[in-house]
Chains A and B, each alone.
Chain A
């Protein structure tokens, strides 16, 4: 639940999602669900010359199971808040 809440706070920010097939997609985070499926808007593939497979896609749904990394904006993490939330989660609620 912690990461679900965390990603919900990032909605509206620009992120880069790297998939487990090495494809990296950059876009504005539109929404996220309990499976950490991600919806991005205004997407573009990071290396379009190598990966022209999504040239005509501007909005996309990424299945949580294929996400390797989510690269966040530098100021996208409130470290203190995340520390507190992680401790609370570890304590069991």
Chain B
């Protein structure tokens, strides 16, 4: 197959992970395996709320178990820098219901 579905192309890139419990964690992808377990470096959580802007919580080096991962997105740094997170208001994402 020409195109790979693996996470190779995201390694050493900044990624945004949406977890099954509805959290959004951003960090540098350092490694992954077949079960989508991932290692994130210099990570932080972005906490969305309707009352105030997006809060950023520093997490540092993190391993996320694949079971708990929903979406892994490649963060476009230019786009990301153009967003004003202090003005963004949203409900936190719902947890994944199987």
Confirm or deny: A46 has a beta carbon within 8 angstroms of a beta carbon on chain B.
Answer: no
Confirm or deny: B90 has a beta carbon within 8 angstroms of a beta carbon on chain A.
Answer: yes
B69 and A54 within 8 A (CB) = no
Q: Which of chain B's residues has its CB closest to A39's CB?
A: B5
Given contacts A56-B83, A58-B79, A61-B7, contact A20 B74 (CB under 8 A): no
B38-78 interface code vs A (CB 8 A; 1 in, 0 out): 00000000101000000000000000001101111111110
Question: Which stretch in A21-29, A71-79, A84-92 binds the other chain?
Answer: A21-29
Confirm or deny: A93 has a beta carbon within 8 angstroms of a beta carbon on chain B.
Answer: no
What is the CB-to-nearest-CB distance from A57 to chain B, in angstroms, rounded to a whole number?
3
Given contacts A21-B70, A63-B71, A66-B70, contact A53 B18 (CB under 8 A): yes
Tell me the chain A residues, 11-63 only, with Cβ under 8 Å from chain B.
11, 19-23, 25, 30-33, 37-39, 43, 50-63
Subset of 30 A-B contacts with CB under 8 Å:
A20-B70, A20-B96, A20-B98, A21-B20, A21-B93, A21-B96, A22-B94, A30-B5, A31-B1, A31-B3, A31-B4, A38-B5, A39-B5, A50-B91, A52-B88, A52-B90, A53-B48, A53-B93, A54-B18, A56-B16, A57-B73, A57-B75, A60-B71, A60-B72, A61-B10, A61-B72, A63-B36, A63-B69, A63-B72, A66-B96
Q: Add 18 more A-B contacts to A19-B96, A59-B74 (CB < 8 A).
A: A11-B3, A20-B70, A20-B96, A21-B18, A21-B22, A21-B94, A21-B96, A23-B71, A30-B5, A39-B3, A39-B5, A51-B90, A54-B18, A56-B79, A56-B80, A61-B10, A63-B71, A66-B96
Chain A residues at the B interface, C-beta cutoff of 8 Å: 8, 11, 19-23, 25, 30-33, 37-39, 43, 50-63, 65-66
